[in-house]
């Protein structure tokens, strides 16, 4: 069955890569079929339909497997896992003005299925100008009918659908009242001189707290003294008093990029009552809905402006054990005292708790009760990111333009790993580069960064629904990668999607295999007398890099230690089993605590209990010194001190750390890596090679390693593995090729595997602990002679694109097709076929490597009718195998980006930017204008060369050493 599944999957991928669907704004030259373009009776549409039907049967109930890790052993050690729709990439799908119709919805979904997507995420936003009459109000009966059609058609095509619980972002809309809106505290102070009465009047329907404070710190609460006419009976006795009044107002933050029918205030996530009322809107919309429901509800990144709510004071008293009304000077005053820091720490913890324990779980529970799962982007919020991510079934991160930090994205994957959730999502490609200049190589590099960070469910950001009636470039969203069928790069998107599907099939299988839990000391961050709510964003990252944990995390990551972050709340449920620390998602070797000043008493007690039961707990530098927060401070401090004194540290075997034996376990304090060595926690030394990144997962009987070379130099050498292995299989996710690896046991007893990785390359290594895998060996090659350039007459024929198909050309020197002459080639975006016939070089070779040189920007390659592959990233090289002595036919289909075509529209002032709201802006959020762009090189620039190869018998260097000579 597994082999049958893989056959259908590979047929579907090949069919998608060769399909040239009719795309608005794109012309196709009528010509004879190229060799290798047909399968006989197995035409591409037939294969797609059969495969979609087959896979749809496989993924029935996929939503219910979200929390289940599959640790079953590999039946076929040389086969890829099944490629479900969750394995394939999904995409945000913006509905402009919700001006959608059934015919165009079906056409668009068909194109996405043809390209190898797994699903779409519907987000209604502002509309396109001139299409207002076709707009459909959000959640209206007609809108729900379009949703029904979308989900029905998507599942017929083997896709699925998610939706935002709202329009645009974030949660909010017309039903959100001023009281329920994201809110700021309004604080006013009044000085009352000794013996004077408080003369101001107050609205008791508005004021949430009114309290007077003497210069000696005495507090008198006055809220209940507000009379019907607004006066307050208060006289300042014994000296001057300061009166604080607290109310709230909407922050003014409205739903961003809202759709018709979705405009209004953003919601207040610190208000359970507001969330309850908000969900009633969706309850009513789905009450009469009879169609198939989307897979998931979604919450976007936290872009609310909120620091207060009507329930906050009551929530605070319940959770922190004292009334915040009595500490208003510490919360809202200007004194930067330890008391102020402690009160504000409690304030920030309460903000977090309300979201973690009430509002977001309420949304998730509502979703589960109606058959949805949930996806949540927690970043940007003032709460504990690890706990907030974990409230959803699919924690979701993002990387934004240059704000690409693997260690930030690991907060989402850590939450999933520790909580035992299968999927880690990512908003993928937001502002990757400037519009229409983004290449598939750019996306591939981003994907590899995401995969090593723990992401295994990418959602492209993204594509706009666009009716076929809209002229090129169609409807566009301003912060998008423009991953849509109208963009010229779409032609080779199926190859990228196949790569994603294979990678994610592995990264979704089994379970995480990280060794360490790295404690996030968030209370050190919260213990700050300045400001109010603190945002933990993917942009400004001082909350991580400015803290000791950020510095330690980067050292551990750079040294190859596999870790997940863990929160105080997540540690609460941890247990010790056979010397390891067991959480819902698996077992870890040790807990590591970065240098920190403040730690909750309960967390410290839990760490000591874990050690008593047999665990290893490592503290960087020293033990924490104090507890956070204000309530019962001395009582908690005294107990904390007693616990500290119970840890009897003595010098360890290494002078860089000290050790305390506790029950069956131990606590190590000092330099972390030395302590990890003492705890026998091994690192992956392959990260010693600049730019080589890895993530590891386990299954019953072995492990998977996803390895990416994000450095500038090729790697060619032995890689030492931290985990035991008897045999291994190399798997190339770009080509689907698999073979048995050359594996040896190193002098240290660690297994080592020989790998070659060019810059930008990636491979998957599947290891087996006991099993000896038999099969076709993976062969590495070595250059055995000088490159030979393929020269002669090149035929250039433009196949598909626009605005018009340029005439064919014959050239003897390769270069950008923009230099062929005439405006048609300068503004053309699409695909050209380069053809040449050549004789084999006179020198003998065991095999040949074809090097295309410079390619702008992707290429499909065929040699003598054989498809060699689709190349997306430099170096644009592909194995050519053997050659004929005479008349070898080389065909290279090169596709460029759409930069020159959009440049032409702006130079001619064609009014294509016709969208409401923000319209269409560039990376700097200024009006987009490509008219002054230089021409972008396009096509096959070469030089095209043949490189003789011979099988390599061993790496060029010793154990674990890379070769940078090639």
Contact 641, 661 (CB under 8 A): no
Q: Sign (positive/negative) of CA torsion 507, 508, 510, 515?
A: positive
Those residues whose C-beta lies under 8 Å from the C-beta of residue 226, and which sit 6 or more positions away, are 202, 204, 207, 210, 232
Cβ–Cβ < 8 Å for 260, 140? no
Specify whether the CB–CB gap between 452 and 762 falls below 8 A.
no
How many other CB atoms sit within 10 Å of the CB of residue 951?
11
Q: How far is CA 324 from the centre of its chain?
A: 38
pLDDT exceeds 80 at position 14? no
Residue 795 pLDDT exceeds 70: yes
Least confident of 14-23, 577-586, 613-622: 14-23
Predicted confidence (pLDDT) at residue 855 exceeds the cutoff of 60: yes
pLDDT at 573: 92
Q: For residue range 900-954, list pLDDT tens digits in order.
A: 999 999 999 999 999 999 999 999 999 999 999 999 999 999 999 999 999 997 7
Query: Residue 192's pLDDT band (boundaries 50, 70, 90)?
Result: very high
How far apart CA 52 and CA 729 sit, in angstroms, is 29
Q: How many CB atoms lie within 10 A of CB 742?
A: 20
- State yes or no: pLDDT of 443 exceeds 70: yes
pLDDT at 436: 98
Please give the average per-residue pLDDT across 226-244, as a whole number.
95
State yes or no: pLDDT of 966 exceeds 80. no
Spatial distance between the Cα atoms of 410 and 414, rounded to a whole number of angstroms:
6
Query: Under DSSP, is residue 777 helix (H, G, I), strand (E, B) or coil?
Result: strand
What are residue 120's DSSP bridge partners? 91, 161
Residue 1 has pLDDT above 80, yes or no: no
Give the CA dihedral 578, 580, 583, 585, nearest 10 degrees. -100
Q: What is the band of 72 on the pLDDT scale with cuts at 50, 70, 90?
A: confident
Helix or strand (DSSP H, E) at 425:
strand 425-430
Nearest to 431 by CA among 24, 921, 66, 908: 921
Distance CA 810, CA 962 (A): 43
Distances (CA, A) of 142 to 126, 192, 521, 584: 17, 60, 49, 43
Long-range Cβ contacts of 393-396 (<8 Å, 24+ apart): 393/66, 393/67, 393/296, 393/364, 393/421, 393/423, 394/66, 394/296, 394/421, 394/423, 394/424, 394/425, 394/457, 395/421, 395/424, 395/425, 396/298, 396/424, 396/425, 396/426, 396/427, 396/459
- Please state the rounded mean pLDDT for residues 696-715: 96
Residues 353 and 358: their CA atoms lie apart, in Å, by 8
Q: Confidence band (pLDDT; 50, 70, 90) for 20?
A: very low
Mean pLDDT of the chain: 92
Specify the higher pLDDT residue, 752 or 69. 752
Residues, the chain: 966
Q: What are the residues facing 659 on neighbouring strands?
A: 650, 668
How much is the pLDDT for 32? 39
Please report the pLDDT score of residue 26 as a whole number. Answer: 77
Q: Are strands 425-430 and 457-464 parallel, antiparallel or unpaired?
A: parallel
In three-state form (DSSP H/G/I as H, E/B as E, the rest C), the secondary structure along 673-703 is: HHHHHHCCCCCCHHHHCCCEEEEEEEECCEE
The answer to whether 917 and 124 are in contact (CB under 8 A) is: no
pLDDT digits (tens, 9 = 90+) for 862-892: 999 999 999 999 999 999 999 999 999 999 9
Confidence of residue 652 (pLDDT cuts 50, 70, 90): confident
Rg (CA), the chain: 31
- CA 545/CA 527 separation, integer angstroms: 17
Q: Name which of 698, 675, 678, 695 is nearest 686 in CA terms.
A: 695
Contacts of 704 (CB under 8 A, 6+ apart): 506, 507, 509, 510, 696, 697, 698, 764, 765, 766, 767
How many angstroms separate the CA atoms of 589 and 722, rounded?
13
Q: Rounded distance, CA 900 to CA 935, Å? A: 6
Q: How confident is the model at residue 68 (pLDDT cuts 50, 70, 90)?
A: low
Look at residue 953 in the predicted model and tell me its pLDDT. Answer: 77
The 10 Å Cβ neighbour count of residue 886 is 9
pLDDT at 342 over 60: yes
Q: How confident is the model at residue 13 (pLDDT cuts 50, 70, 90)?
A: very low
Is residue 278 within 8 A of residue 146, CB to CB? The reply is: no
Q: Compute CA 261 distance to the chain's CA centroid, rounded to the nearest angstrom.
A: 30
Q: How far is residue 669's CA from residue 651's CA, in Å, rounded to a whole number?
A: 10
Q: Which of 11-20, 527-536, 639-648, 733-742 has the lowest mean pLDDT?
A: 11-20
Dihedral, 783, 789, 795, 796 alpha carbons, nearest 10:
70
pLDDT score of 957: 58
> What's the mean pLDDT in 778-804?
97
In three-state form (DSSP H/G/I as H, E/B as E, the rest C), the secondary structure along 725-773 is CCEEEEECCCCCCEEECCEEECCCCCEEEEEEECCCCEEEEEEECCCCC
Residue 52 has pLDDT above 60, yes or no: no
Q: Cα–Cα distance between 623 and 617 in angstroms, integer?
A: 11
User: Is 395 within 8 Å of 356 (Cβ atoms)?
Assistant: no
Query: How many angstroms separate the first and last alpha carbons of the chain?
Result: 43
β-pairing verdict for 394-400 and 425-430:
parallel
């Amino acid at each position: 069955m597994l082999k049958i599944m893989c056959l259908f999957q590979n047929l579907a991928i090949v069919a998608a890569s060769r399909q040239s669907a009719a795309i608005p704004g794109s012309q196709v030259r009528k010509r004879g079929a190229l060799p290798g373009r047909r399968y006989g009776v197995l035409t591409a549409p037939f294969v797609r339909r059969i495969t979609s039907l087959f896979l749809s049967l496989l993924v029935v109930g996929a939503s219910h497997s979200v929390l289940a890790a599959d640790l079953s052993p590999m039946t076929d050690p040389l086969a890829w896992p099944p490629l479900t729709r969750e394995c394939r990439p999904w995409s945000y799908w913006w509905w402009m003005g919700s001006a959608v119709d059934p015919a165009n919805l079906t056409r668009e979904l068909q194109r996405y299925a043809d390209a190898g997507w797994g699903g779409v995420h519907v987000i209604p936003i502002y509309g396109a100008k001139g299409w207002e009459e076709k707009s459909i109000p959000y959640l209206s009966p007609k809108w729900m009918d379009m949703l029904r059609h979308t989900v029905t058609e998507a599942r017929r095509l083997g896709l699925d659908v998610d939706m935002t619980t709202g329009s645009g972002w974030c949660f909010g809309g017309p039903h959100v009242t001023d009281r329920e809106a994201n809110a700021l505290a309004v604080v006013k102070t009044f000085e009352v001189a000794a013996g004077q009465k408080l003369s101001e009047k107050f609205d008791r329907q508005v004021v949430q707290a009114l309290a007077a404070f003497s210069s000696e710190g005495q507090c008198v609460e006055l809220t209940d003294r507000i009379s019907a006419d607004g006066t307050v009976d208060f006289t300042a006795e014994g000296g001057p008093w300061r009166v604080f009044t607290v109310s709230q107002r909407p922050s003014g933050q409205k739903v961003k990029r809202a759709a018709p029918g979705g405009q209004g205030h953003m919601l207040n996530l610190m208000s359970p009552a507001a969330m309850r009322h908000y969900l009633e809107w969706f309850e009513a919309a789905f009450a009469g809905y009879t169609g198939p429901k989307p897979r998931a509800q979604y919450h976007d990144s936290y872009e609310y402006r909120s620091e207060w709510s009507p329930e906050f004071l009551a929530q605070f008293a319940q959770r922190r054990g004292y009334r915040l009304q009595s500490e208003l000077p510490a919360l809202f005053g200007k004194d930067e005292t330890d008391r102020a820091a402690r009160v504000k720490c409690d304030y920030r913890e309460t903000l977090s708790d309300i979201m973690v324990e009430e509002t977001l779980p309420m949304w998730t529970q509502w979703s589960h009760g109606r058959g949805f799962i949930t996806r949540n982007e927690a970043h940007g919020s003032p709460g504990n990111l690890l706990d907030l991510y974990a409230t959803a079934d699919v924690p979701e991160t993002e990387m934004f333009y240059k704000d690409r930090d693997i260690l930030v994205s690991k907060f989402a994957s850590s939450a999933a790993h520790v909580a035992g959730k299968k999927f880690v999502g990512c908003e993928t490609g937001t502002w990757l580069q400037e519009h229409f200049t983004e290449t598939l190589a750019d996306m591939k590099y981003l994907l590899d960064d995401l995969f090593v960070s723990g992401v295994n469910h990418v959602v492209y950001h993204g594509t706009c629904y666009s009716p076929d009636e809209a002229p090129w470039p169609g409807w566009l969203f301003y912060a998008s990668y423009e991953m849509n069928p109208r963009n010229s790069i779409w032609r080779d998107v199926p190859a990228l999607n196949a790569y994603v599907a294979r990678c994610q099939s592995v990264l979704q299988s089994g379970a995480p295999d990280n060794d360490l839990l790295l404690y996030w000391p968030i209370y050190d961050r919260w213990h700050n007398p300045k400001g109010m709510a603190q945002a933990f964003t993917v942009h400004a990252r001082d909350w991580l890099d400015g803290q000791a944990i950020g510095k330690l995390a980067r050292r551990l990551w750079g040294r190859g230690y596999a870790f997940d972050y863990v929160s105080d709340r997540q540690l609460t449920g941890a247990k010790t089993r056979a010397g390891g620390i067991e959480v819902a998602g698996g077992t870890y070797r040790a807990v590591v605590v970065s240098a920190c000043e403040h730690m909750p008493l309960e967390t410290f007690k839990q760490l000591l209990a874990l050690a008593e039961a047999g665990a290893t707990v490592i503290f960087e530098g020293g033990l924490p010194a104090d507890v956070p927060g204000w309530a019962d401070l001395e009582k908690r401090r005294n107990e904390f001190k007693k616990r500290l004194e119970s840890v009897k540290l003595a010098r360890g075997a290494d002078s860089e750390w000290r050790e305390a034996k506790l029950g069956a376990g131990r606590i190590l304090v000092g330099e972390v890596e030395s302590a990890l060595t003492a705890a026998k926690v091994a690192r992956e030394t392959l990260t010693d090679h600049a730019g080589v990144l890895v993530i590891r997962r386990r299954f019953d009987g072995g492990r998977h390693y996803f390895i990416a070379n994000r450095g500038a130099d090729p790697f060619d050498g032995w890689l030492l593995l931290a985990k035991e292995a008897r045999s291994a299989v190399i798997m190339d996710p770009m080509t689907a090729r698999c073979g048995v690896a050359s594996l040896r046991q190193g002098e240290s007893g660690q297994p080592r595997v020989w790998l070659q990785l060019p810059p930008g390359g990636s491979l998957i290594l599947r290891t087996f602990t006991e099993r000896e895998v038999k099969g076709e060996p993976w062969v590495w090659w070595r250059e055995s002679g000088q490159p030979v350039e393929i020269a002669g007459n090149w035929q250039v024929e433009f196949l598909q694109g626009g605005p018009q198909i340029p005439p064919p050309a014959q050239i003897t020197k390769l270069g950008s097709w923009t230099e062929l002459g005439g405006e048609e080639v300068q503004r053309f975006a699409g695909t050209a076929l380069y053809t040449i016939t050549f004789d084999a070089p006179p020198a003998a070779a065991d095999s040949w490597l074809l090097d295309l040189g410079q390619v702008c920007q992707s290429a499909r390659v065929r040699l003598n009718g054989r498809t060699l592959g689709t190349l997306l990233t430099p170096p644009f090289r592909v194995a050519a195998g053997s050659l004929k002595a005479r008349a070898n036919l080389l065909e290279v289909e090169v596709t460029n980006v759409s930069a020159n075509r959009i440049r032409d529209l702006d130079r001619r002032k064609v009014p294509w930017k016709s969208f409401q709201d923000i319209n269409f802006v560039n990376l700097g959020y200024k009006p987009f204008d490509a008219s002054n762009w230089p021409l972008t090189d396009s096509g096959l620039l070469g030089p095209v060369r043949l490189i003789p190869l011979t099988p390599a018998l061993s790496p060029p260097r010793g154990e674990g050493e890379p070769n940078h000579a090639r």
